[in-house]
Chains A and B, each alone.
Chain A
């Protein structure tokens, strides 16, 4: 696991064009929302992006090549969260969440994440 720190880190929820926020909806539906929320709060408090797992993983390389920004993934129990980050790491935007079923991140999940990431990339400078 990569360990990276910055001076401030805020976790935000990416919004789709129709106003829905898939990750916050995912958490609301989860039956372990308490523990997810507390873990997120810990990450925010420790200003930590150790969450990073897979910028280098095969499935994520083509995203950077094609769109110029990176998509990251991190685990929390059986849940997987996909996010993009500001250049400074000051903010990360959770764009997609799903429950892990296969070892490789499915393309459909990446595509769902990309739709929102793309909207964000117009507004912010993503790394």
Chain B
């Protein structure tokens, strides 16, 4: 019996499946830190020294019981010679089309369209272009 067999057996239990699949930031961050440290091939003590902190702080961060602060993670990223990807709210990513619309609104082409439309702003970029073409 290996690890996969145990995992499959445990996942039969719906309660466990829910717990296992649920996002757990504390554990996910802990696993990320440990994996990064393993990939870099350094010990907790060495990492602690680079970050100017104690080995116990690294151990605590890897335990999954506490969520380390962002400034701690940034310090760690620096010590590991890498960068931290900042967390972001999902809706900011989902609303990207609106953001693009705003950029178009600010573009010189739209400014021209505005003038041609007698000062009315044109939200729809394609209609702005067709209107421009007509005018020309």
- Bound-state CA distance A48–B35 (Å) is 10
In the bound complex, do residue B38 and residue A13 qualify as a contact, i.e. CB atoms below 8 Å apart?
A: no
- Interface 9-residue window, one of B2-10, B69-77, B108-116, B118-126: B2-10
Residues of A within 8 A of B66 (CB): none
- Say yes or no for B39: interface residue by CB 8 A criterion: yes
As a 0/1 sequence over residues 51 to 66 of chain A, the CB contacts with chain B under 8 angstroms (1 = contact) are 0000000000000000
Residues of B within 8 A of A40 (CB): 3
- Bound-state CA distance A33–B2 (Å) is 15
In the bound complex, do residue B34 and residue A11 qualify as a contact, i.e. CB atoms below 8 Å apart?
A: no
Q: How large is the interface on B (under 10, 10 to 19, 20 to 34, 35 or more residues)?
A: 20 to 34
Given known pairs A21-B1, A24-B1, A34-B20, the reply for A46 and B38 (CB within 8 Å) is yes
Residues of B within 8 A of A48 (CB): 38
- Bound-state CA distance A24–B6 (Å) is 7
Given known pairs A13-B6, A24-B1, the reply for A1 and B43 (CB within 8 Å) is yes
Residues of A within 8 A of B2 (CB): 10-13
- Say yes or no for A39: interface residue by CB 8 A criterion: yes
In the bound complex, do residue B10 and residue A28 qualify as a contact, i.e. CB atoms below 8 Å apart?
A: yes
In the complex, the chain B residue whose C-beta lies closest to that of A94 is B3
- Bound-state CA distance A33–B3 (Å) is 12
In the complex, the chain A residue whose C-beta lies closest to that of B1 is A13
- Say yes or no for B105: interface residue by CB 8 A criterion: no
User: Which residues of A come within 8 Å of B, CB atoms?
Assistant: 1, 3, 10-13, 15, 21, 24, 27-28, 33-35, 37-42, 44, 46, 48, 50, 77
Can you name 29 A-B residue pairings with CB atoms under 8 Å? A1-B43, A1-B44, A3-B41, A3-B43, A11-B2, A11-B3, A12-B1, A12-B3, A13-B2, A15-B1, A24-B1, A24-B6, A27-B6, A33-B16, A34-B16, A35-B24, A37-B3, A37-B6, A37-B10, A38-B27, A39-B34, A40-B3, A41-B3, A42-B31, A42-B38, A46-B35, A46-B38, A46-B39, A48-B38
